[in-house]
Structure 1
């Protein structure tokens, strides 16, 4: 197996801007993102950093604005590729797929924000491209949602996505468990839909 770590949208907007991450607590998830980056660098795992870019007139992620900028802790660490995107998935309208393919990457580890939006979209696209996907439960995070369909706390949104991911699309793990797998050169287990369904009826 050949992994790459993708660090999605760890930008100021999610810390001091209009979309402060609520669960897991943003300082905790950021610390785990940085641990994942450091672990990847120490073990030869390529790191892709993604930055969401909106028009300068946008209320969020306005190109060139403070909210659009990467968190300094991420920007100051070495990484192998920078992807600017305008859609939820880091694959849409970017060179990410080609970049991974050219390097023989077969496993993509997802960290960053937001869990149910850009993280989940990227993970699903990676899965449908034939990649194995790993999803770091404590190095991702989100906000509460409320709209015409209903309301969910940030914890509910986050945990829902983790359960769905591990049922089919991605191996969900803590950063510590992922780091141990990286050191051992081993894949993470995936529960899968059959086992996930049987657990609810046992």
Structure 2
């Protein structure tokens, strides 16, 4: 099986959002760094995905902001970079074609935000026929509030919910240890 690691939206833009929290960042950075190293050791492709939107001038995701760049801890070379403007990494990016041209049939998902761009990319990848490995401990998300009820959900609860809806339907749920042993 030919694999590629998708490193989704791990970019400086998030430092400039109102929901940014450093609570889980150190673990996320460690896990993602180790995962990238494992993929590179096994000669699998590592793909950088950046989210950019030029339709909102004052957004930290607008390329003009200067924040649409990898976070500093990602100091490793990537095999390819794709820019997306929607929640998944496939729509209008050429990613699926590139993966197929490189005979890649399995994608591992990592990055920011677990339940948004990472989950959405996993679902679309599955629908496109790729095997999907969702590496939850190499994803990051933030606490959220459900607006109608006011109920707050912790980042860990959101990750569990994401695993629940993806497992055995869209993705195999994995941990860093599945790749580094």
Tell whether the structures are fold-level matches, with TM greater than 0.5: yes
Q: Which residue of 2 aligns with 1:174?
A: 175
Partner Cα separation in structure 1 for residue 133 and residue 159 of structure 2: 15
Structure with higher helix content: 1
Q: Which residue of 2 aligns with 1:67?
A: 67
Count residues in correspondence: 177
Q: Which residue of 2 aligns with 1:124?
A: 123
Answer yes or no: is the 8 Å Cα contact 2:38–2:179 preserved in 1.
Answer: no
The alignment's TM-score, normalised by the length of structure 2, stands at 0.90
Distance 1:109 1:21, change over 3 A: farther
Stretches of structure 2 lacking an aligned partner (at least 5 in a row): none
Q: Which residue of 2 aligns with 1:80?
A: 79
Partner Cα separation in structure 2 for residue 120 and residue 127 of structure 1: 11
CA offsets 1:20-49 (integer angstroms, 9 cap, x no match): 2567x0121111111111111111000110
- SS of equivalent residue, structure 2 residue 43: coil
Answer yes or no: is the 8 Å Cα contact 2:12–2:68 preserved in 1.
Answer: yes
- Taking only aligned residues, the RMSD between alpha carbons, in angstroms, comes to 1.7
Answer yes or no: is the 8 Å Cα contact 2:6–2:47 preserved in 1.
Answer: yes
The alignment's TM-score, normalised by the length of structure 1, stands at 0.81
Answer yes or no: is the 8 Å Cα contact 2:46–2:78 preserved in 1.
Answer: yes
Residues 26-65 of structure 1 correspond to what in structure 2 (within 5 A)?
26-55=25-54, 57-65=57-65
